[in-house]
Amino acid sequence: MLTVAVLQQKGGSGKTTLAINLAAAAHLDGRRTLVVDMDRQASAFDWSAAREDGSPLDGLAVVKADRAIALPRFKEIARGYDYVFLDGPPRLGDVTQSAAVAADVALLPIQPGPFDFWAVAETLESLDQADQVREQLGRTPIRRVFVVNRAGAGTRLAREAEQELRKSGGELAGVVHQRVAFPDAASRGESVLTSPAAYAAADDIQRLWRALKGGKHGPQPQEAKPRTKREASEGGRGEARRGRKAHRRRRA
Ligand SMILES: Nc1ncnc2c1ncn2[C@@H]1O[C@H](COP(=O)(O)OP(=O)(O)OP(=O)(O)O)[C@@H](O)[C@H]1O
Ligand SMILES: [Mg+2]
């Protein structure tokens, strides 16, 4: 079993979006997958309730747990699942702490620009505290993995964010671009992987998912960059490859 806690104290950084889309990727891979919604806003829970029957995401479990969960209780909740995604709240405190004690990986979404870098420093301190508790429990330190979210295709800010992360020694699992497909899919209880014409967003999620589950296809930021001005204006490599028709469909 692998447990991924999506954590970042800054509100709106993309925790829920990434947790539900990665969970969808795991579920569609045939893995028994659980999302634990640890936020009082219950966005992930509402997301699953909005889904129509007969969706390819049927069977993807989402439970609410907006209080701190002790490790034995967490193990009970997670029993029988291959992948568990913890959708953290937009604040530090005992709920985030308990997620960081229970998880194997902390996935930290960063939006390009300075504010998220400053905000993540406090989240990292909170992971340091969780590591002390983990040590007492005989657990190894949590693996800290960053993802740049809401990147504009080929923008300077996104590249700078990648460079900053690499300089700070952080492990960068991938880059997810700003795409309307994310809120659009979420509003129907779906993922970008189960939405028509969301190819570019789906590419980002699949790449991130492969990096997280430890496949040989790690992060490839070089490839993720658009190669020509025209591709950049069309929104990235995935769409450029699929041609203008797909691009028109996505915009429609
Ligand atoms: N890559 C993306 N492209 C477009 N929209 C995005 C992307 N990631 C997130 N969003 C949108 O940004 C908003 C905030 O995202 P989300 O709810 O996932 O953040 P969060 O960190 O879970 O927020 P909170 O801290 O309030 O729980 C949502 O409307 C979501 O649809
Ligand atoms: Mg959220």
Q: How far is the CA of 132 from the centre of ligand 1 (A)?
A: 30
Per-chain residues with Cβ under 5 A from ion ligand 2: 15-16, 43
For the chain, give the mean pLDDT.
84
CB of 98 within 6 A of ligand 1: the answer is: no
For residue 176 and ligand 1, the question of a CB distance below 6 A is answered with yes
pLDDT in tens, 49-67: 999 999 999 999 999 998 9
pLDDT band at 197 (very low <50, low <70, confident <90, very high): confident
pLDDT at 66: 84
By the 8 A CB rule, do 153 and 127 touch? no
- Report the pLDDT averaged over residues 35-42: 96
Per-residue confidence at 166, pLDDT binned at 50, 70, 90?
A: confident
d(CA 143, CA 126): 13
pLDDT at site 78: 97
Check pocket membership of 174 for ligand 1, CB cut-off 6 A.
no
Whether residue 232 lies inside any domain: the answer is: no
223 CA distance to ligand 1 middle (Å): 24
Parent domain of 126: 2-225
* Structural domain count, the chain: 1
Supply the pLDDT for residue 220.
Answer: 36
Whether residue 236 is contained in a domain is answered as no
Q: What is the DSSP string of 188-239?
A: TT--GGGSTT-HHHHHHHHHHHHHHTT-S----HHHHS-SSHHHHHHTSHHH
Looking at the domain assignment, is residue 24 inside a domain? yes
pLDDT the model gives residue 192: 98
pLDDT of residue 113: 78
Q: Is residue 246 part of a domain?
A: no
Residue 181 belongs to a domain? yes
21 pLDDT more than 90: yes
Residue 155 pLDDT > 50: yes
Does residue 238 belong to any structural domain of this protein? no
207 CB within 6 A, ligand 1: no
Which of 32-46, 151-165, 182-196, 219-233 shows the lowest per-residue confidence on average (mean pLDDT)?
Answer: 219-233
- The CATH number given to whatever domain includes residue 165 is 3.40.50.300
pLDDT at position 152 is 86
Residue 14 pLDDT exceeds 60: yes
Q: Are 19 and 87 in contact (CB under 8 A)?
A: yes
Q: How far is the CA of 17 from the centre of ligand 2 (A)?
A: 7
153 lines ligand 1 (CB under 6 A): no
* Whole-number pLDDT of residue 7: 96
Per-residue DSSP letter, 179: -
Q: pLDDT tens digits for 202-227?
A: 999 999 999 999 843 333 333 333 33
Examine residue 165 and state whether it is found in any structural domain, yes or no: yes
Lowest-confidence region among 74-88, 162-176, 193-207: 162-176
Q: What is the pTM of this model?
A: 0.85
Q: How far is the CA of 182 from the centre of ligand 2 (A)?
A: 13
Residue 48 tokens read as 């699953």
Query: Do 171 and 107 contact (CB within 8 A), yes or no?
Result: no
Give the distance (Å) from ligand 1 centre to CA of residue 73.
29
On the question of pLDDT at 246 being above 50, the answer is no
- In a domain, residue 180? The reply is yes
